[in-house]
Chain A
Amino acid sequence: MSSLLLMRDIDEPGLADIAVYERRGGYKSLRKALAMTSDAVLAELDASGLRGRGGAGFPAGRKASFLPKGDMDKYLVCNADESEPGTFKDRELMQKSPHMLIEGIVIAAHAAGVNHAFIYIRGEYEEQAKILDLAIAQARANGYIGERILGSGVSLSLVLHRGAGAYICGEETGLLDSLEGKRGNPRLKPPFPAIEGLYGGPTLINNVETLATMPHIIEMGGAKYAKLGVSGSSGTKVVSVSGHVTRPGNYEIDLGIPSREIIYDLAGGPPAGRQVKLWFPGGSSAPVLTAEDLDVPYDFDSLAKAGSMLGSGAIIVVDDSTPVLDVALKLAKFYRHESCGKCTPCREGTNWTVRMLERIDGGEATPMDLDIMASVQDHIIGNCLCVLGDAMAMPIGSMIVKFRDEFEAHLQSRQLAGAI
């Protein structure tokens, strides 16, 4: 049912060691890519139809082609600040197969004509950082990183940088500021990083999974990769399933299979006797879907059509044992805590939303407050400097629309409890 690419060898013992990785065919794609021109590599990436796995789903080949040609300092940054609640795919990939990521980075750097690469890994991934550091040293010793890689004309330095624990540093421009040693705040776009990114130079930023997919694309060829999955969402995707399922974990799927298959067949569905109430198809920032949407095909376009998004591919399942208000409050508090405070709607709107939800939970509200809360979400969406504000407002907004009755009932029961 599913083609295994990224997770084919994932449970191979010792895969993090370069000898095992090479034995399993590792770094062959790199040799193949280095024998190709950078334009040819770019063409394969383009042909693969690979869309970014970090959340935005932008075509990866096109993104790499945006970098200007020329001799200026250009950078590749691997975004390993996997902070979206519910998302833990990059952790497993880096922990178990760090060389796959490194191989992908060198291939992408070659394609984009970049000589300096960074991996920005979230501070909490201490173990993964150690594994990567070791892997980078091995790759360097074996000539996969450094000057004139494997005798080709391609040179690349690779540095691992650990973040200090902020969701906003997963936003690509916030990440760049943080990497430069500044406060991690998003930058105004344009200019986009491809033109003016790290240290002012053209910068390609890709998610771990996106980069880790590249060796497989080179291995099988872009056209063949494009045949996997469905039109508009080619290839495979590692999906992190968590919440009320009996077998949470990472599953590699062909894009386009019914969501129900992932939640029930792979992850085992909710515990016996409980029903799916709502689910986040792509991390906590995605508008929620309900049990009615379980048959929506799991791909970029179908989920967008259903009013949500594939995002980072993290499915969070909530069953009928949990009040929707608890979900909303937990979520809003997370975004309030992580808002960088730079732009007004996000800084003030996340705070206001939390306060209103707390008041509803405390029974000190009226249904009119639900209208105000919905309107506050509307005022945040599209008006912020980066997408963090939207990341709270979209799911909360969708919950108010889809579970208005439950919110009102919750409010009423709390009021009654208060009156007694």
Chain B
Amino acid sequence: MPRPHQNLITFSVDGREVQAPENMMLADAAKLGDVEIPVFCYEPKLGHPVGACRMCLVEIEGIPKLQTACSTAVKDGMVVHTQSERARVAQQAVVEFLLINHPLDCPVCDKGGECPLQDITFGWGGGKSRFIEPKRHFRKPLELSPLIAIDRERCILCYRCVRYSQEVAEDYQLVLLERGENTFVGTFDGHPYVAPFSGNIIELCPVGALTSRPYRFRARPWDIEGSGSLCTLCPAQCNVTFTVRDDRVLRVLARDHHEVDDGWLCDKGRFAYQAVHVDERITAPMIRDGGELRTVSWERALAEATSGLRRAGAKTAALAGGGATNEEGLLLGRLLRDVLGSPHLDSRSGGAVSLADWRALSDPALAATVSDLEFANAVLVLDCEPVDDAPILELRIRKGVRRNGVALLLASARPSALDPSATETLRFAPGRGAELAWALAAALQDGAVDAPAAAAGASAEEVRKLARALREAGEEIVILYGEQLLDGDAGGLLALADALGIAEIEGAGLIGIPEAANGRGLREAGVLPNGGPGFSAPPLGDGLDAAAIAAKLGDGELSALYLLGVDPLRSFPDAGAWEQALEHATTVIAHAAFLTPGVREHATVIFPAESSAEKEGTVTHPDGRVQRLRPAIGHPGDVRAEWRTLSELARLLGGAAGPATAAGVSAELFASVGLYNGLELEELAGHGVRWPARAPAVARSGEAAAKPKLRRAAQAKGGRLLLGSYRSIWAGPEVEASPALRFLAPRQRVELSPRDAAKLGVLHGEEVLVSDDQGELRATVVLRDSTPSGTAFLERDLARDGANRLRGPLVEVRTAPSGNGDVETLLGEEELTHA
């Protein structure tokens, strides 16, 4: 659907001539003339207005009854009075009605001081109450969920939270129960409202009815300051405001950015701030001394690191991930390449992609923006699960489908939460996204589909059907893909983009979701085995990729490993190989906030990592938007800026002394990374700058050169199942460390189809052992109807029993021996219960 065209009209509000886009709702249009019309239920982000609260009644000349400004589209020549006697009487009446049953417990209400009901009462209310009857009472406050408290006495029944649940998050959990004055917001049978995006209702609530339980009674608005920055827990990089009191983060609010998050946050982004201030967090440098970790001074830690790195020299390798900034990536590259003479650094766990392909994938002509997801003719979600990989994008996709009729096409190995919204879904074998891209490209060009489809483990007929849907959807097609599919081969994806002619079409393009929150930025800053800053040729030639680094550490050809914000033992595939690698490395230096297994067992030096609330620098969004992180609080304990540590190490090892300020490093980044040339920190301001928007298209050549590299998918046999894995939205040490979120931290569960479960004789909720020749782990069985038969899905990036303990491709699932005291059931889990 094309973006709506806007026609300007002129209307009059309270005697002012105002220009506004035609058909804009009066409540919004009046603002353009600096006239505020009070609203409670109206919130354009929730879709069509409902006109429930009646707060925005205004008088419009020529219409006998008062009209709700929230639902009246402005027309040329309209004459509106918001302050006529009739309008004022009606507005005062509505305020009076709203307050008769409101407890007016403002002095003890978290919302007090930042409450629209207070503001509107003050601005438009009559100032006195004539209601002397007893007020309505409910039990309060109640847990709507472990994260949200509900006070039904304060609720003014504006419908916002219910509409959000029904029409934005589409989790369909919140409803209105009973009717009339007994109406209340609740869930079916009082089940807790647990969902990936539940916390947004706290911000939507115009009164103190829905409050954050972690924030409850922590501060009043006059105690706090807001500090704008970014959430770097996932690649979606939502814009946030940290609420700070006494140098502590007490709350995270959305900072509406239409091109990034549309004003929403996921619950991880909203509540994981608690991990900033927990005792488990590492806040001082540590070294391993006689096998034990102990806290030391910075001088000692730096000396230890320097000597280890000096010994290893070119035999050092480095990995970066997590929320590491572009600047840190640049400095890490310099430390490795310029100071230590080692070309071995990576920011991805998959096989290296050629530099030519990286350049091609970053071609501005192929770039889509986040808002394109909302207005495209079709969105192809390819080998990713948005709610897990970049949660907030899921809401954008749902919005496009619901409001603009975007056709959603889904191709994934694992069933997706978006399946019910999709017009086409296709399943293929885990880890064969690249092959599927080749198959789709072939189908679009009427080429041979059978071979690539078979390699992808998909039906050729379904591939053709999906290709047909793509062809018939219209020109504007956005492909949202998981970068994990670029495992050594980007050719299929590029061929698919070419077959669709995406480069030529405005509003069409690619968005890749990287594994790491700043995966794109780190790559562009040069943290690649085969690419320097801005995809320049690496000065020392190609280095080893992550898997090869593990192998070479294991057999002693490399001796030191530098870990910037990543623990490969926890989050990279093949934990067995990394166990070996870390075991054999003589020096392991880690920037870490938590003692994850690889750090706890193997690090020789630990530098305390900053949280995103403390960091300064830039990160790059998957759509190429360079965004700025600004520190909201000072560093707790002995934490130091990580860029400073990287600089200091380089200096101690005889390298050049870098810039002395964070801004200075950013300036060097913009100068060193060709793609970022010309950017300035100031212009990033609160909204960032998409570099592809100002860069010319890259001329590509030798299209026909790419030939499919097809790896044939394995097949389930002999009772063994094909292994797939995914990283849940709730994975990550931050969730495990946040008291409020801990209940969501995943334990290993194996998703099976009911058919396979019946064959294996295992039940939903049962504890099983999943094994291959590499290892074995415990998991709880979860049955999903939509899981393809012959496949088992496990979670990655867990505190223990992560999927990377197994190598696959086939695994065995069997009942865990009984009598183990560790057995817990999944009773009460939100997923589903199959009879």
Whether, in the assembled complex, A42 has its beta carbon less than 8 Å from a beta carbon of chain B, the answer is no
Interface: B66 (CB within 8 A): yes
Which residues of the other chain, A, contact B93 by a CB distance below 8 angstroms? 345, 379, 383
Partner of A345, one of B54, B159, B182: B54
Contacts of A356 in B (CB 8 A): 133
The answer to whether A336 touches B97, judged by C-beta atoms less than 8 angstroms apart, is no
A385 CB–B CB distance under 8 Å: yes
The reply to whether B98 and A344 form a contact with Cβ atoms under 8 Å apart is yes
The digit string for A342-382, where 1 denotes a CB below 8 A from any CB of B, is 11110111111001100100000000000010000001001
Asked whether any CB of chain B lies closer than 8 Å to the CB of A341, the reply is yes
CB of A211 closer than 8 Å to a CB of B: no
Report whether A384 and B183 are in contact in the complex, using a CB–CB cutoff of 8 Å.
Answer: no
- Answer whether A349 and B97 are a contact pair too, CB < 8 Å, given A379-B90, A383-B66, A384-B54: yes
Known: A188-B71, A340-B180, A382-B66. Contact between A345 and B94, CB under 8 A?
yes
Nearest residue, chain B, Cβ from A346: B180
A324: interface (CB < 8 Å): no
Say whether, besides A372-B130, A384-B54, A385-B51, A341 and B183 are in contact (CB < 8 Å): yes
- Chain A positions within 8 Å of B133 at CB level: 352, 355-356, 359
Task: Indicate if B685 sits at the interface (CB-CB under 8 A).
Answer: no
In the complex, whether B176 has a CB less than 8 A from a CB of chain A is yes
Chain A residues closer than 8 Å to B51, beta-carbon distance: 188, 343, 385
With A337-B180, A342-B50, A352-B100 known, 20 other A-B pairs at CB within 8 A are A183-B175, A188-B51, A188-B71, A338-B180, A339-B181, A341-B157, A341-B182, A343-B51, A344-B157, A345-B93, A345-B97, A347-B181, A348-B100, A352-B131, A356-B133, A359-B133, A379-B90, A379-B97, A382-B65, A384-B54
Residues 168-182 (chain B) with a chain A CB within 8 angstroms: 175-176, 178-182
**How many angstroms from the CA of A338 to the CA of B156 in the assembled complex?**
18
Q: Say how far B65's CB is from chain A's closest CB, in angstroms.
A: 5
Q: Are the CB atoms of B90 and A383 closer together than 8 Å? A: yes
Q: In the complex, which residues of chain B have a beta carbon less than 8 angstroms from the beta carbon of A349?
A: 97
Once the chains are docked, how many angstroms separate the CA of A347 from the CA of B178?
A: 12
Please give the distance in Å from A173's CB to the nearest CB on chain B.
11
* B52: interface (CB < 8 Å): yes
Give CA–CA (A268, B441) in the complex, Å: 85
The answer, among A188, A336, A341, A348, for a CB contact under 8 Å with B98, is: A348
Contact A341 B180 (CB under 8 A): yes
Chain A residues with CB below 8 A from B131, complex form: 352
Instruction: Kindly list the 8 A-B residue pairs having the minimum CB-CB distance in the complex, ordered from nearest.
Output: A341-B183, A379-B93, A348-B97, A339-B180, A355-B133, A188-B51, A351-B181, A341-B180
Nearest neighbor of A351 in chain B, beta-carbon distance: B181
Interface-centre pick from A339, A348, A356, A384 (highest chain B CB count, 10 A): A348
Q: Does B226 contact A (CB under 8 A)?
A: no
Q: Is the CB of B181 within 8 A of A188?
A: no
Interface of A is mostly: helix
B183 touches A347 (CB 8 A): yes
Interface size class of A (residues with CB under 8 A): 20 to 34
Question: How close is B329's CB to chain A, nearest CB, in angstroms?
Answer: 50
Whether A339 pairs with B179 at a CB distance below 8 angstroms is: yes
Q: Mark B127-142, 1 if CB is under 8 A from A, else 0.
A: 0001101001000000
Q: Which of A344, A352, A356, A379 gathers most chain B CB within 10 Å?
A: A344
Whether A341 contacts B97 in the complex (CB less than 8 A), given A355-B133, A372-B130, A385-B52, comes out as no
Q: Pull 8 A–B residue pairs with CB atoms less than 8 Å apart, ordered by A.
A: A339-B179, A341-B180, A343-B52, A344-B53, A344-B55, A347-B97, A347-B180, A359-B133
Residues of A within 8 A of B97 (CB): 344-345, 347-349, 352, 379
Whether B101 contacts A348 by the Cβ 8 Å rule is yes
Q: Which residues of B contact A347 (CB under 8 A)?
A: 97, 157, 180-181, 183
Give A344 to B100 CA distance when docked, in angstroms: 11
Docked complex Cα distance between A355 and B136 (Å)? 11
Give Cα A251 to B471, complex, Å. Answer: 65
Q: What CA separation (Å) do A355 and B135 show in the bound complex?
A: 11
Once the chains are docked, how many angstroms separate the CA of A340 from the CA of B180?
5
Residues of A within 8 A of B53 (CB): 343-344
- Closest-CB distance, B764 to chain A (whole angstroms): 29
- Of chain A, the residue at the smallest CB distance from B162 is A183
Residue of A nearest to B91 (CB): A383
Distance in Å from the Cβ of A271 to the closest Cβ of chain B? 35
**Per DSSP, are chain B's interface residues mostly helix, strand or loop, or mixed?**
loop
Instruction: Tell me if B783 counts as interface (CB < 8 A to partner A).
Output: no
- What's the minimum C-beta distance from B220 to chain A, rounded to whole angstroms? 28
Chain B, residues 594-638, CB within 8 Å of chain A (1/0): the string is 000000000000000000000000000000000000000000000
How many residues on the B side are at the interface (Cβ–Cβ under 8 A)?
37
Instruction: Known A344-B54, A379-B90, A383-B90; judge A350-B180 contact (CB<8 A).
Output: yes
| Contact partners of A168 in chain B: CB under 8 A | 179
CB < 8 Å neighbour of A379 from B48, B50, B89, B182: B89
B52-85 vs A, Cβ < 8 Å mask (1 yes, 0 no): 1111010000000110100100000000000000
- Bound complex: CA A183 to CA B178 (Å): 10
Distance between Cα atoms of A210 and B159 in the complex (Å):
35
CA distance A355 to B68 in the complex (A): 28
B32 to chain A, nearest CB (A): 23
**B65: which A residues are within 8 A, CB to CB?**
382
Note all chain B residues with C-beta closer than 8 A to A385: 51-52, 54
The answer to whether B112 has its CB under 8 Å from any CB of chain A is: no
Quick check: is A239 within 8 A (CB to CB) of the other chain?
A: no
Chain B residues near A379 (CB, 8 Å)? Answer: 89-90, 93, 96-97
A288 sits at the interface (CB 8 A): no
Report Cα–Cα, A168/B176, bound state, in Å.
Answer: 16
Q: Assess whether B180 is in contact with A344, with CB atoms less than 8 Å apart.
A: no
Q: How far is the CA of A188 from the CA of B55 in the complex (A)?
A: 14
Q: Beyond A379-B90, A379-B97, A382-B66, is A343–B181 a contact (Cβ under 8 Å)?
A: no
Contact of B50 among A188, A355, A383 (CB under 8 A): A188
Instruction: Provide the residues of chain A in CB contact with B66, threshold 8 Å.
Output: 382-383
B146 is an interface residue with CB less than 8 A from chain A? no
Closest-CB distance, A375 to chain B (whole angstroms): 8
* Whole-angstrom distance between the Cβ of B296 and the nearest chain A Cβ: 63
Query: Could you tell me the distance in whole angstroms from the C-beta of B595 to the nearest C-beta in chain A?
Result: 50
Render A121-147 as a binary contact track against B, CB cut-off 8 A, 1 for contact: 000000000000000000000000000
* Any A CB within 8 A of the CB of B809: no
* A205 contacts across to B, CB distance below 8 A: none
Minimal beta-carbon separation of B794 from chain A (angstroms): 38
A352–B176 alpha-carbon span in the complex (Å): 21
In the complex, whether B214 has a CB less than 8 A from a CB of chain A is no
Residue of A whose beta carbon sits closest to that of B133: A355
Contact indicator A183/B52 (Cβ below 8 Å): no
Which interface residue of B130, B176, B180 has the most chain A CB atoms within 10 A? Answer: B180
Q: Within 8 Å CB of B181, what residues of A?
A: 336, 339, 341, 347-348, 350-351
Tell me whether A176 is interfacial, beta carbon within 8 Å: no
Interface assignment of A253: CB less than 8 Å from any CB of chain B? no
Q: Which residues of chain B are near A314, meaning CB under 8 Å?
A: none
Query: B49 on the interface (CB 8 Å rule)?
Result: yes
Contacts of A348 in B (CB 8 A): 97-98, 100-101, 181
Interface status of A208 (Cβ within 8 A of chain B): no
Q: Which residue of A lies closest to B102 (CB)?
A: A348
Within 8 A of A (CB), among B702-754: none
Considering only residues 79-117 of chain A, those with a C-beta below 8 Å from chain B are: none
State the Cβ distance, A169 to closest chain B Cβ, in Å.
Answer: 11
Cα–Cα, bound, A350→B101 (Å): 13
A84 to chain B, nearest CB (A): 17
Q: Known contacts A340-B179, A341-B180; decide if A188 and B94 are in contact (CB<8 Å).
A: no
Q: Report A-chain residues with C-beta under 8 Å of the C-beta of B182.
A: 341
Using CB atoms, name the residue of chain B closest to A336: B180
In the bound complex, what is the Cα–Cα distance between A339 and B180 (angstroms)?
5
CA distance A323 to B180 in the complex (A): 27
Which of A166, A355, A383 has a CB less than 8 Å from the CB of B179?
A166
CA distance A124 to B175 in the complex (A): 26
CB of A304 to closest CB in B, whole Å: 15
Q: Note all chain B residues with C-beta closer than 8 A to A355.
A: 133
> What A residues does B101 contact at CB under 8 A?
348, 351
